[in-house]
Amino acid sequence: MQLLIKGADVFAPEALGRKDILISNGKILAIEENINESGLIGPVEVVDGQGKLAIPGLVDTHQHFIGGGGEGGYRTRTPELTLTQQTLNGVTTALGLLGTDSLSRHVESLYAKTKAFNEEGITAVMITGAYHLPSPTITGSVQRDIAFIDPVIGVKLAVSDHRGPFVTRDELGHLVSEVRVASLIANKKGIITVHTGAGKACLDQVFDILEVSDYQPERFVPTHINRPDTWESAVRLAKMGAYIDGTGILHDDGGAGKITCADATRMSIEEGIESRFTFSSDAGGSMPKWNENRTRIIGMGVGTPDSLLIEVRRGVEKGLTLTQMLAPVTINAAHQIGLEDRKGQLLPGFDGDVVLLDQDSLQLTDTIAKGQWMVASGEAIVKGTFE
């Protein structure tokens, strides 16, 4: 079945104006002023795009597919994500990872959930490892995980966090080398997602290894950097060629010392690093609230995929263009994880990942992933074994 979206206002993410979009066999075939369905061969489902904005499916580069948390005891473990949590919030491509807990949660389970999301109809990749070194893996080696397991594109590591390791220069250098060689062999992006805590060193360990080695800054993707104590260091790294990643927040109050991703997007533009800035949801991950000494958890929240569109709307309300707010969660995010040849833009030949928003409220009405309906008129379409 071919899908023909008629008369939507297209943001690819750049503004293209009112266009028709033709999708067939999971790919975008054409984006034109007018596509006449009578001239198409085979069955065609025509979708009325009047009054709607067509944007690329969102690319969320930091999610805890199998849940996270546990820092406050087993009762604070968060649940795994579901397909409808993704699609109802416009996420059609996501990257899964582990966090603090690599004791009761395992990379093998993350792999299984990554495969499940792909079978259900969205696109999912993952990174091996967790906070600590040596990294937990499936094959016993970070290098082998990246080289031989299809959805694995990198590794996770924490720095400057009281829950993470103290990483020596030799340890970090060895990890970067493993990731680089494996990525070359497997033709993958090869990234180290760096959980950046609020500790004293910030990103100093990353800068140190870059100063004494020939490794490329683009190997590193520091996350949770939309905080006043981290932003300046992250900008410095972005200007060296890295992608830096903020974490979406649900409430426009800075979120316990955080800078909203709407404001961080504006700041990235002012710094001239807008093409190197992304923001993600941390969906499924815990949002712990610590006491003053950061020794005991006094509250716990959970990240959700809806923070991406919340931040997009927040930025537009603050005067940024829709294109500016979409870039970090579409084209930039696709580049960050090495899927820029088929994700993050509405272009002929790209995957048929299209989200329709109400043009007035910017609320999601429809989600199409690889040419298949996932959400229609605000209602999730459940696919797969369990219906």
For 123-175, the pLDDT digits (tens) are 999 999 999 999 999 999 999 999 999 999 999 999 999 888 989 999 999 99
pLDDT of residue 252: 59
Cβ atoms of residues 27 and 297 within 8 Å: no
Would you call 282 a catalytic residue per the annotation? yes
Q: Measured between alpha carbons, how far is 285 from 159 in angstroms, rounded to an integer?
A: 17
Cβ atoms of residues 194 and 203 within 8 Å: yes
- Residue 317: which residues within 8 A CB-CB, separation 6 or more? 262
Residue ranges for the chain with pLDDT beneath 70: 251-256, 288-300, 383-387
pLDDT of residue 384: 52
Q: Measured between alpha carbons, how far is 106 from 367 in angstroms, rounded to an integer?
A: 31
In the chain, the amino acid numbered 93 is: T
Q: Measured between alpha carbons, how far is 176 from 209 in angstroms, rounded to an integer?
A: 9
DSSP string, 297-364: EEEEEEB-TTHHHHHHHHHHHTT--HHHHHGGGTHHHHHHTT-TTTSSS--TTSB--EEEEETTT--E
pLDDT of residue 298: 62
DSSP state of 136: P
Q: Which of 245, 282, 351, 366 is catalytic?
A: 282
Q: Measured between alpha carbons, how far is 92 from 90 in angstroms, rounded to an integer?
A: 6
pLDDT of residue 38: 85
Place of tokens 């960050």: 336
pLDDT of residue 387: 43
